[in-house]
Structure 1
Amino acid sequence: MKGILGLLRHKLPPEERKEAGESVFFSTAFADHGISADEAIPWEARAVEVGAKRLNADKGAPKLQALWARDPHMKRLDSAAMDQLMHFFDFATVVADRELMRQDEYGSFMIVLLSGTMAVDRDQQWGERVRLSEARPGEILGEMSLLDSGKRFSHCITLTDCEVAILGAEALDEMMTVRPQLAASLIALLARKMSLRLRAVGARLTDRR
């Protein structure tokens, strides 16, 4: 099963693949926090659960590049960096009404929405589920858990058929090994976008009280 799920990954070029694997900062971070491997949900497991189908990189990568070229933060990566970045992403299609992330679970991957619409919902302490937003193409989901090994902040559910790009903890570790400057730039940009979004969500939740 592990070998079959591995086919979902878009591998590094052969000459670089042998260099990867030295860094295990992100792929071991959950264990460092006392979280067992069974508790941290990788994309491969979630892909099987929701019936995701592989999207060829030659179709998914250009969509991701085009979307990030228009993003005020991600466009700071130049074309060469963007080309390198594509080697570390998986690409998939998912039908409507599938929950790709669940609030309070541990997940070792993030998603970039390439096409379609996804709901971002959060269960409140008083029992109500609140719609925080509806994600559109280009938006990043789940990067907080990938970076800090914490619980998911919200539920992410496909409202339509969607195409997604996925970056997992192991792929991020590979990037840190073979493309450390690229990894540092990506992490800094993700952290900035995450901070801005959390501020906006916090303000929205405060207004609802």
Structure 2
Amino acid sequence: MKGILGLLKRATPHSPDEDKPDSLLFTTAFADLGVDPSMLVPWEARANEIGAKRLSASRGSKLLQALWAKDKYMSRLAANGVSRLEQFFDFATVPAERDVIRQDEYGNFMIVLLSGTIAVDRVQPWGEQLRLTEARPGDILGEMSLLDSGMRFSLCTSLNECEIAVLSADALDEMMSADAPLAASLIGLLARKLSLRLRVVSARLTDQKS
């Protein structure tokens, strides 16, 4: 945790030259990797494309708090952590059969599913669409691209009307400046959950080979 706090302190601008890009900020990470800005799909563009409607912050925050209180990792946030997160999240309702995240695109946001079901598929090189899982309320999607600025690994499609919470790179950078301890806790917990998911996938692949 101290290491993450140190990273956050270095990422917070202290120079009077505030326009100078900081390579540690999530909003500049794609440019640092040479990604063409036109390839980046922000949440605002995706929300407009799929017809997402704004969900009240009070309902969204209430759902998020109830779900994360039951989560092994996210429940470790400070007692008032979710209420402090509310100002940094966008909350929305997504119609059924909409692609919230698309495979191989660059996106700078992650999603927490609050209600409904989202299919997580991967299209194979030969065209077959493989169902990896079906996300349930409380599951987090897209955090890998938010953290490492890489391409999306899978296609995420709403199977029914879903309520979601969205955290963008801009909002995460804002959190790092406004509430560094909260940002450090969130990033650390996301990294742990992501690591656990990758270990599970690795174990499955190993079992298939044996």
Q: Do the aligned partners of 2:61 and 2:82 also contact (CA within 8 Å) in 1? A: no
**How many residues are aligned here?**
189
How many angstroms apart in 1 are the aligned matches of 2:206 and 2:153?
A: 16
How many angstroms apart in 2 are the aligned matches of 1:202 and 1:43?
A: 30
Q: Do the aligned partners of 1:60 and 1:91 also contact (CA within 8 Å) in 2? A: yes
Instruction: Please give the root-mean-square deviation of Cα atoms over the aligned residues, in Å.
Output: 1.7
Q: Do the aligned partners of 1:132 and 1:201 also contact (CA within 8 Å) in 2? A: no
CA deviation profile, 1:21-71 (whole Å, cap 9, x unmatched): 997700111011011221111100000000000001011111001100100
One-letter code aligned to 1:85: L
Shift of 1:123: 1.5
Shift of 1:126: 3.7
The aligned counterpart of 1:173 is 173
The aligned counterpart of 2:131 is 131
Query: TM-score scaled to structure 1, two decimals?
Result: 0.85
How many angstroms apart in 2 are the aligned matches of 1:164 and 1:77?
A: 19
23-32 or 46-55, which moves further after superposition?
23-32
Q: Do the aligned partners of 2:118 and 2:157 also contact (CA within 8 Å) in 1? A: yes
How many angstroms apart in 1 are the aligned matches of 2:87 and 2:72?
A: 22
One-letter code aligned to 2:95: V
Q: Do the aligned partners of 1:90 and 1:166 also contact (CA within 8 Å) in 2? A: yes
How many angstroms apart in 1 are the aligned matches of 2:205 and 2:129?
A: 12
Query: Matched residue of 1:25: which SS?
Result: coil
Shift of 1:199: 2.2
Query: Matched residue of 1:145: which SS?
Result: helix
The aligned counterpart of 2:100 is 100
Q: Do the aligned partners of 1:99 and 1:158 also contact (CA within 8 Å) in 2? A: yes
CA deviation profile, 1:75-103 (whole Å, cap 9, x unmatched): 00122222111111000000110001011
Query: TM-score scaled to structure 2, two decimals?
Result: 0.85
One-letter code aligned to 1:177: S
Q: Do the aligned partners of 2:64 and 2:82 also contact (CA within 8 Å) in 1? A: no
Q: Do the aligned partners of 1:90 and 1:165 also contact (CA within 8 Å) in 2? A: yes
Shift of 1:208: 5.8
Query: Matched residue of 1:78: which SS?
Result: coil
Residues 1:59 and 2:59 are matched in the alignment: yes
74-83 or 159-168, which moves further after superposition?
74-83
Task: Report 1:55-204 matches (<5 A).
Answer: 55-204=55-204
Identity score, percent: 63
Q: Do the aligned partners of 1:41 and 1:106 also contact (CA within 8 Å) in 2? A: yes
120-129 or 134-143, which moves further after superposition?
120-129
Cα distance change of structure 1 residues 136 and 33 upon mapping to structure 2, 3 Å threshold: same
Shift of 1:205: 4.9
Q: Which runs of 4+ in 1 moved over 6 A?
A: 21-24
How many angstroms apart in 2 are the aligned matches of 1:205 and 1:54?
A: 39
How many angstroms apart in 1 are the aligned matches of 2:27 and 2:208?
A: 37
How many angstroms apart in 1 are the aligned matches of 2:112 and 2:89?
A: 10
38-47 or 195-204, which moves further after superposition?
195-204
123-132 or 110-119, which moves further after superposition?
123-132
Shift of 1:145: 0.2
Query: Matched residue of 1:79: which SS?
Result: coil
The aligned counterpart of 1:33 is 33
How many angstroms apart in 1 are the aligned matches of 2:170 and 2:141?
A: 17
Shift of 1:185: 0.7
